[in-house]
Amino acid sequence: MKDNNFIYLDNAATTKVSETVVALFAESEKNSFANASSIHRLGVLNAKEVDKAKESILNSFKLKNHRVILTSGASEANNLAIKGYCLNYSNRGKHIITTNIEHPSVLECFYQLRDKFGFDVEILDVNSKGIIEPSILEKAMRKDTILVSVMAINNEIGSVNPIKEIAEIVHKYPKANLHVDTTQAIGKINLDYSSIDMFVVSAHKIHGVKGSGALIAKSNLSFMPLISGGGQEDGLRSGTTSIAMAKCLSLAIKDALKEDVNKVKELRNHLVDELERIDEIEMNSSNECSPYIVNFSLKSKKASVVVEDLSNKGIFVSSVSACNSKKESYSYVVKALGKNEKLYKNTIRVSFSKDNTIEEVDTFVNNLKQTLEAIR
């Protein structure tokens, strides 16, 4: 995606909003401005538009027994799913399970439930490829386990977890439900969403509008609200509903699920072939990872210096997750793979969208080589 002479390769942090979504947002904000909670005719009509958007979202995921709870994004949706669910069903048990490479919006929920509410938190280690092995999860499950939270695709290295097998294990236990952070997975891998009890969507990861997302959960599940007030979203998430955001989220999901990943696979394979020829680089993303994310470490150079130099040349990549970059100077995900300190403190992530090109990959690699040679 080359605009104004820059190359954007940080799509796991955010994507460029699509022109069709922009047009729909402008049209909706102009014409569907009335409050969907109002009882007058315009309010009722707009409430129906929101319901249509939610129905469209469920149809896109081929779901019949789930409901859509609109949120400000995946972080809020993860918080509602994990804290809202656990606090609502704490009488069933307090044993909850996650992994050591989850997004901060998941891990911080588990820490809070442990430290403030007395939940028994078990954090499982992933293997050297960043995947939770089903046998490890099966050993950790207990009769009082009420929640398992495992991300579909890791946001830093792109590792893909076996969600089907995980769901089968979790559902052997009547009190347990499965939450999946699908933020990086929508339209990128095939998932049977009907087997997942709760999953989340972030619009800005799929060429939608920032500040928009959803928790999609089985209809029989309930949650303790984290935001109280006017009772919107079935009383689970109060606040005035944006009709435009709901419609644009629906469109972004529909478009994402139709995306052809083969082009991105070509970009990924070409990039990896080039990177593996550079002695300074050690790969962190395996061949089984999502083609949308390629993560590698520098053996002796400082990644922050390289990322800054590339940025000055108009090439944008990241060193750690955007949600973690101002808190930590290292990748806890790459550390979890068993890599040494030098490697997990000097990671670079390249993340693609459908708009990137082979020419951009070549330009990135050539400039990366020049930067590495210039740094002493």
Condensed to tens digits (0 to 9), the pLDDT of residues 255-291 reads: 999 999 999 999 999 999 999 999 999 999 999 999 9
Percentage of the chain exceeding pLDDT 70: 97
Q: Compute the distance between CA of residue 268 and CA of residue 159 in angstroms, rounded to an integer.
A: 14
Q: Return the percent helix, strand and coil in the chain, to nearest 5.
A: 40, 15, 45
Over its C-alpha atoms, the chain yields an Rg (Å, rounded) of: 21
Q: What is the pLDDT of residue 325?
A: 47
In which band, very low, low, confident or very high, does the pLDDT at 318 lie, cut at 50, 70 and 90?
A: very high
The answer for residues whose C-beta is within 8 angstroms of residue 102's C-beta and 6 or more apart is 110, 149, 150, 151, 181
Answer yes or no: is pLDDT of 1 > 50. no
The answer for residues whose C-beta is within 8 angstroms of residue 47's C-beta and 6 or more apart is 36, 37
Q: Residues 37-51: pLDDT tens digits?
A: 999 999 999 999 999
CB-count exposure of residue 172 (10 Å: 0-12, 13-18, 19+): exposed
Point out the catalytic residue in the list 86, 248, 289, 323.
323
11-28 mean pLDDT: 97
Q: How many CA atoms lie within 13 A of 354 on its CB side?
A: 15
Q: What is the pLDDT of residue 99?
A: 98
Q: Which residue has the tokens 């082979």?
A: 358
Q: Residues 307-317: pLDDT tens digits?
A: 999 999 999 99
Answer yes or no: is pLDDT of 357 > 60. yes
Q: Compute the distance between CA of residue 148 and CA of residue 160 in angstroms, rounded to an integer.
A: 16
Mean pLDDT of the chain: 95
80-100 mean pLDDT: 98
Q: Compute the distance between CA of residue 244 and CA of residue 246 in angstroms, rounded to an integer.
A: 5
Q: Residues 139-176: pLDDT tens digits?
A: 999 999 999 999 999 999 999 999 999 999 999 999 99
Closest CA to 352 of 3, 74, 104, 7: 7
358-365 mean pLDDT: 98
Torsion of CA 159, 368, 206, 230, to 10 degrees: 90
Catalytic residue flag (residue 323): yes
Distance of CA 254 to the CA centre of its chain: 17
Q: What is the pLDDT of residue 344?
A: 97
- For the packed helices 243-256 and 19-31, what is the interaxial angle rounded to 10 degrees? 160
Answer yes or no: is pLDDT of 327 > 70. no
Tokens of 331: 């990748």
Name the H helices within 118-261: 134-140, 163-170, 243-256
Tokens of 257: 């699920």
Q: Which residue has the tokens 């992530």?
A: 349
Q: What is the pLDDT of residue 5?
A: 85
Q: What is the pLDDT of residue 328?
A: 59
Answer yes or no: is pLDDT of 326 > 90. no
